């Protein structure tokens, strides 16, 4: 079974000006991240606008990433949909497409009980032989996977880890404490990457790795070598970018920064709007600051 560890960029989905998938830009993105030393690729997550892509578009994105990665690193594909039936169908199609693992977000729109969430994940896990990384991001979905539920799901042979985007370090600590050593706990909040590693987590699925893949990889590699001061210095680089996320609706800021540094990401899909002129100016000042410091 796949060992889930290291730095895995939570990839944006490049779009052209018609808001259609930009295959060329997506392939370039895959190679940029692999060249930076990432340990995997995660497509069709929150930053990848999975919620605003059709079923067929999701398959197209996954197939492009899988094809371009060509086995160089594992590809984690987001299979989460609002309902169990659609999630199961997408999971099966992603497995057929050659994904190495699935990320399955909690269902969303309705608020579900913990038994209902467990019921959902058990059904999905039973329909695929791929490793599954659970994904909890309650601020977006309105549903939280409790530590107790995660511990139960971790008993399933192909549920191998969790991306925790709760923003709660205490929650991460409890997950590490209550799940088997073989179960991977990954930071989904980029400010907690080093803290998670120090506490016994195995890595991160990181939005900031879209912009700073080498820097985010450096957090992990310095930590792995016991170079904790250097790891902390790399962690600090991410602060200004994370602060800038508040300037627009996800993932508009990430895409604006990528476009600004010459990496075509295009617009976010509507109803997400472009950044205001004032917000875009702030992004440009941030990029200039990073560039002056030799970080971009």
Distance CA 8, CA 54 (A): 24
Distance CA 92, CA 192 (A): 32
Respond yes or no: is residue 163 known to be catalytic. yes
Q: Which residue, 100, 101, 79, 75, is CA-closest to 90?
A: 79
Kindly name the residue from 33, 76, 112, 135 that is annotated as catalytic.
135
Task: Give the DSSP H/E element, type plus range, for residue 242.
Answer: helix 239-244
Strand order in the sheet with 41-43: 6-9, 203-206, 184-187, 159-164, 132-136, 101-105, 75-78, 41-43
Coil, strand, or helix at residue 204?
strand
Distance CA 41, CA 92 (A): 19
Q: What's the maximum distance between 2 C-alpha atoms anywhere in the chain?
A: 52
Respond yes or no: is residue 135 known to be catalytic. yes
Q: Is the Cβ–Cβ distance between 292 and 75 less than 8 Å?
A: no
Distance CA 266, CA 9 (A): 18
In the numeric block, the tokens 């994370």 are attached to 242
Distance CA 215, CA 44 (A): 23
Distance CA 143, CA 51 (A): 15
Quote the tokens at residue 93. 């199609």
Name all contacts of 119-126 with Cβ < 8 Å and 24+ positions apart.
119/84, 120/84, 120/87, 121/153, 121/156, 121/159, 122/153, 122/156, 123/84, 123/88, 124/79, 124/84, 124/87, 124/88, 124/91, 125/153, 125/156, 125/158, 125/159
Kindly name the residue from 5, 76, 112, 163 that is annotated as catalytic.
163
Catalytic residues: 135, 163
């Amino acid at each position: 079974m796949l060992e889930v560890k290291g730095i895995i960029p939570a990839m944006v989905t490049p779009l052209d000006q018609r808001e259609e998938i930009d295959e060329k830009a997506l392939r370039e993105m895959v190679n940029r991240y692999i060249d930076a030393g990432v340990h995997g690729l995660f497509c069709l997550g929150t930053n990848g606008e999975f919620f605003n892509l059709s079923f067929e578009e999701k398959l197209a994105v996954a197939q492009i990433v899988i094809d371009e990665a060509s086995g160089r690193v594992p590809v984690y594909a987001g299979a989460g949909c609002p309902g169990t039936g659609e999630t199961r169908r997408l999971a099966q199609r992603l497995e057929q497409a050659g994904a190495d693992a699935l990320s399955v977000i909690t269902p969303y729109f309705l608020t579900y009980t913990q038994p209902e969430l467990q019921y959902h994940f058990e059904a999905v896990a039973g329909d695929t032989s791929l490793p599954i990384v659970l994904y909890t991001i309650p601020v977006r979905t309105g549903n939280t996977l409790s530590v107790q539920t995660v511990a139960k799901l971790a008993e399933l042979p192909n549920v191998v880890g969790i991306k925790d985007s709760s923003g709660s370090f205490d929650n991460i600590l409890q997950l590490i404490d209550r799940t088997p050593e073989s179960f991977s706990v990954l930071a989904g909040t980029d400010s907690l990457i080093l803290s998670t590693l120090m506490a016994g987590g195995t890595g991160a699925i990181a939005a900031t790795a879209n912009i700073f893949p080498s820097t985010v990889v450096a957090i992990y590699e310095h930590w792995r070598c016991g170079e904790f001061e250097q790891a902390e210095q790399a962690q600090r680089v991410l602060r200004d970018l994370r602060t800038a996320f508040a300037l627009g609706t996800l993932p508009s800021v990430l895409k604006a920064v990528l476009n600004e540094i010459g990496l075509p990401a295009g617009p976010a899909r509507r109803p997400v709007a472009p950044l205001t002129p004032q917000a875009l100016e702030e992004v440009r000042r941030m990029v200039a600051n990073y560039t002056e410091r030799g970080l971009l």
